[in-house]
Chain A
């Protein structure tokens, strides 16, 4: 898929989604705007701009590429940490985050990560007892 096509699709889909969702609310007229007016038209504008990229797509030869594996792993690490936090507490979640994210890097070093874990644990506990009293630790 070439880049322009990807951009076009992304913009058209996002814009259209908002515009369609806006129809649930009153649109109204310019002098008596409803809550749906502004997002509806802005969504349309986004779609329109997205469509211009379709024209570009016909002669674009740059491919969309990225190291997807890395991206997905990092996102999984972040999402995982949130879920871990939900069932345990910040200290556990943060350690999970440190280890799962550090593992992604090719230069992963156990010793450095252990030091980091210690530092991060201290930080978390300090936060808990100073500013975030209601934060669960585990």
Chain B
């Protein structure tokens, strides 16, 4: 194992590879911060560069972009309650609260440190047990994925909402919204009212910006927020007491995310949610979740990073890409004549280990890079709100337009801003709505497939060990949720 890592370090520091990694990280962070530009777009644009640079250097740069963007997405989630990436949605919850309490710097550093911890652990794990980990992916078929997604809904709903019913209903509304567009199984477009732009479905950015960001602004205006988001001293480095809470949460998040990231059928999407849910359940500070608990940032962030790295395992060993960004990287490898498979690690050890170590170094770079940047970001929070919110509106406006340079996205975002306002008035949470929207299509796909395989027999959902384990967890959480409803109604 040590030789592997040494080989990795040698490769990662060869020639200009470190420079490419740095460029990738910077680009990725910028991209992640602006809602609308995702790592996929940037990676597609940079893909041709991989030929010029050669497969190893090119992939190293692409990996930097990917991680940088995860990181940038968390920054906007913390500062402005606007998730730049879908992986940052859970970070909004406690992260933004921390920002309001003057702990924005701490929150961003928490995100960086947790991601770094996750990165280190995953590198070690990957060097030791890559092949057996890949086998885990085979235990998950359509029925198991369906149960997993259901668990994500129920878990998040129970733990972020006082009323299970409200959370579930918004989650289901999100799922319904996710149905808009072409149904890939039948080719028929659903709920599109013959508007061609809706054929592809509604973009994540449009919904997230409308329902979360714009409604956050509406809420603040409604409440008459006047001063800056946080006037006082802004702390940056976490205190020792905070670190003592952060590190275990990051470790737990790594475990959850690392496991889920292995599942190519949608594990990564559920990683941050599941980590948040899990952490809230086991934490001693569960009351603080939702009000600025440091674990509420550490766990999902670690889970994202761990999940993304774990995604390399099925990618490299089986050629199974988890996300668009991974798929593009797969493409880059194939172009270089590298066929993913169990042979890839044997035949191209410098590529695999070089990439693995670069990810580690990339995490360090991001940590270091962002320290001075945090001071700048945090100044944003000192701006009085009456100036800040028009700025946020403009950035989101341009960002949403920029996704497809299509004006119809702007009409849609106005609609979602209205929907977000309704949620606010009715005290419904946008987070579960977004969760439903993101996971809905995958849930439907797997649900359908599972029932086709079983010929309509619902017992397939309790058929395997994995299903039963997840089902038990679901029942536990529903029980907790129901208990909460009755408790709340009697107080």
Cβ of B469 under 8 Å from chain A: no
Q: Are A75 and B421 in contact (CB under 8 A)?
A: yes
Is chain A's interface secondary structure helix, strand, loop, or mixed overall?
helix
Query: Could you tell me the distance in whole angstroms from the C-beta of B311 to the nearest C-beta in chain A?
Result: 27
Q: Are A104 and B221 in contact (CB under 8 A)?
A: yes
Q: Are B405 and A134 in contact (CB under 8 A)?
A: yes
Nearest opposing residue in chain B for A134, CB measure: B405
Which residues on A are within 8 Å of B, measured CB to CB? 3, 6-7, 10-11, 14-15, 18, 21-22, 25-26, 29-39, 42-43, 45-46, 49-50, 52-53, 64, 66-67, 70-71, 74-75, 78-79, 81-82, 85-86, 90, 93-94, 97-98, 101-102, 104-109, 112-113, 115-116, 119-120, 123-124, 127, 131-132, 134-135
0/1 interface trace, chain B 394-438, chain A, CB 8 Å (1 if under) = 110110011001010011011001100110111110000000000
CA distance A30 to B459 in the complex (A): 12
Q: Are A46 and B169 in contact (CB under 8 A)?
A: yes
A97 and B391 in contact, given A25-B190, A70-B222 (Cβ under 8 angstroms): no
Q: List 25 A-B contacts (CB under 8 A).
A: A7-B426, A14-B173, A29-B456, A33-B448, A39-B179, A66-B222, A67-B221, A70-B218, A70-B222, A74-B221, A75-B417, A78-B417, A82-B414, A97-B397, A102-B390, A106-B224, A107-B226, A113-B390, A116-B387, A116-B391, A123-B395, A124-B398, A127-B402, A132-B402, A135-B401
Cβ of B162 under 8 Å from chain A: no
Which residues on B are within 8 Å of A, measured CB to CB? 37, 165-166, 168-169, 172-173, 175-176, 179, 183, 185-186, 188, 190-191, 214, 217-218, 221-222, 224, 226, 384-387, 389-391, 393-395, 397-398, 401-402, 405, 407, 410-411, 413-414, 417-418, 421-422, 424-428, 444, 447-448, 451-452, 454-456, 458
Q: Are A120 and B191 in contact (CB under 8 A)?
A: no
Given A6-B425, A38-B448, A94-B397, 18 additional A-B pairs, CB 8 A: A10-B422, A10-B426, A30-B456, A31-B451, A39-B190, A49-B168, A66-B222, A66-B424, A67-B222, A71-B421, A74-B417, A75-B414, A78-B393, A90-B398, A97-B390, A102-B390, A105-B226, A107-B386
